[in-house]
C-alpha cells in the first residue's frame, strides 16, 4: 500500500525524489532576510537551501526539480504555496543510499503531517515533499538534514499550522 493514494500525490512523490540538495548550496552564503527578534523572513529573496528553517514559507515554482541550491523565500504573511513544517537531522556515518533516505524522509514527513496540519494526510487537501540530502552533499558538505515541505494547491497567507485544510 502506498502512502500516496492519488495520481497527483504519486507525481509529487516522484518530484520529491528528484528534489535533493547539492554541495553547491554549501558554497552559497545567501541567507533569507530575517527579523532579528523573531527569526521570521521579512523580504522575498532567493536563499541557500542550507539557510532554510522550520516555519519558512517558499514559492513552489522556485524549487524546480533535481538538484537545487536555492529556494525562493517569502514572508509567510504574503501569498505562498509551500511551508517548511518539520526537520530531522540524520545520524553521522556512511551515506545510507538514496532509496533509504527517500524512504526515511517520506515516512518522517508523513508522520509529522497530522500534528502540524491538524488533519491526517488522507483527509487533507495539502501535500508534502521532503527536501533531503544526496550523496555528494552528505560526503562533502556534511548535509544530514531532511526538511518537510507542506505544499498547498493554491496560494495561502499565513501559516498552515493547525489549519485543518
Residue-wise pLDDT tens digits, 102-129: 999 999 999 999 999 999 999 999 999 9
Kindly state whether residue 91 falls inside one of the protein's structural domains: yes
Write the pLDDT tens digit of every residue in 48-57. 999 999 999 9
Kindly state whether residue 162 falls inside one of the protein's structural domains: no
Kindly state whether residue 15 falls inside one of the protein's structural domains: no
Question: If you average pLDDT over residues 10-29, what whole number do you get?
Answer: 42
Round to whole Å and give the CA distance between 3 and 75: 31
Kindly state whether residue 137 falls inside one of the protein's structural domains: yes
pLDDT mean across residues, the chain: 84
Cβ burial of 78 (10 Å; 0-12, 13-18, 19+) is middle
Kindly state whether residue 24 falls inside one of the protein's structural domains: no
Query: In the structure, what pLDDT confidence band is assigned to residue 18 with cuts at 50, 70 and 90?
Result: very low
Round to whole Å and give the CA distance between 134 and 60: 20
CB atoms within 10 A of CB 56: 25
Kindly state whether residue 103 falls inside one of the protein's structural domains: yes
Kindly state whether residue 121 falls inside one of the protein's structural domains: yes
**Predicted local distance difference test score (pLDDT) of residue 24:** 37
Q: What's the CA angle centered on 144, arms 15 and 115, to 5 degrees?
A: 65
Identify the top-confidence range among 10-14, 18-22, 78-82, 139-143: 78-82
Instruction: Single out the residue of 139, 140, 146, 32 nearest to residue 85, CA to CA.
Output: 146
Question: Would you say residue 61 has pLDDT above 70?
Answer: yes
For residue 100, the enclosing domain spans: 45-156
Domain count of the fold of the chain: 1
Question: Would you say residue 99 has pLDDT above 90?
Answer: yes
Kindly state whether residue 150 falls inside one of the protein's structural domains: yes
Q: Please state whether the predicted TM-score (pTM) of the whole model is above 0.95.
A: no
Question: If you average pLDDT over residues 38-66, what whole number do you get?
Answer: 91
Amino acid at each position: 500500500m502506498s502512502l500516496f493514494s492519488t495520481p497527483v500525490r504519486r507525481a509529487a512523490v516522484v518530484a520529491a525524489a528528484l528534489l535533493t540538495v547539492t554541495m553547491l548550496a554549501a558554497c552559497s552564503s545567501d541567507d533569507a532576510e530575517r527579523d532579528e527578534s523573531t527569526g521570521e523572513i521579512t523580504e522575498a529573496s532567493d536563499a541557500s537551501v542550507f539557510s532554510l528553517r522550520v516555519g519558512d514559507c517558499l514559492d513552489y515554482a522556485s524549487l524546480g526539480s533535481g538538484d537545487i541550491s536555492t529556494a525562493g523565500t517569502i514572508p509567510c504573511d504574503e501569498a505562498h504555496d509551500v511551508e517548511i513544517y518539520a526537520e530531522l537531522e540524520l545520524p553521522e556515518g556512511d551515506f545510507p543510499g538514496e532509496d533509504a533516505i527517500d524512504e526515511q524522509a517520506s515516512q518522517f514527513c508523513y508522520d509529522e503531517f497530522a500534528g502540524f496540519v491538524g488533519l491526517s494526510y488522507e483527509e487533507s487537501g495539502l501535500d508534502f515533499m521532503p527536501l533531503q540530502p544526496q550523496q555528494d552533499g552528505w560526503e562533502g558538505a556534511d548535509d544530514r538534514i531532511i526538511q518537510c515541505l507542506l505544499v498547498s494547491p493554491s496560494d495561502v497567507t499565513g501559516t498552515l499550522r493547525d489549519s485543518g485544510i
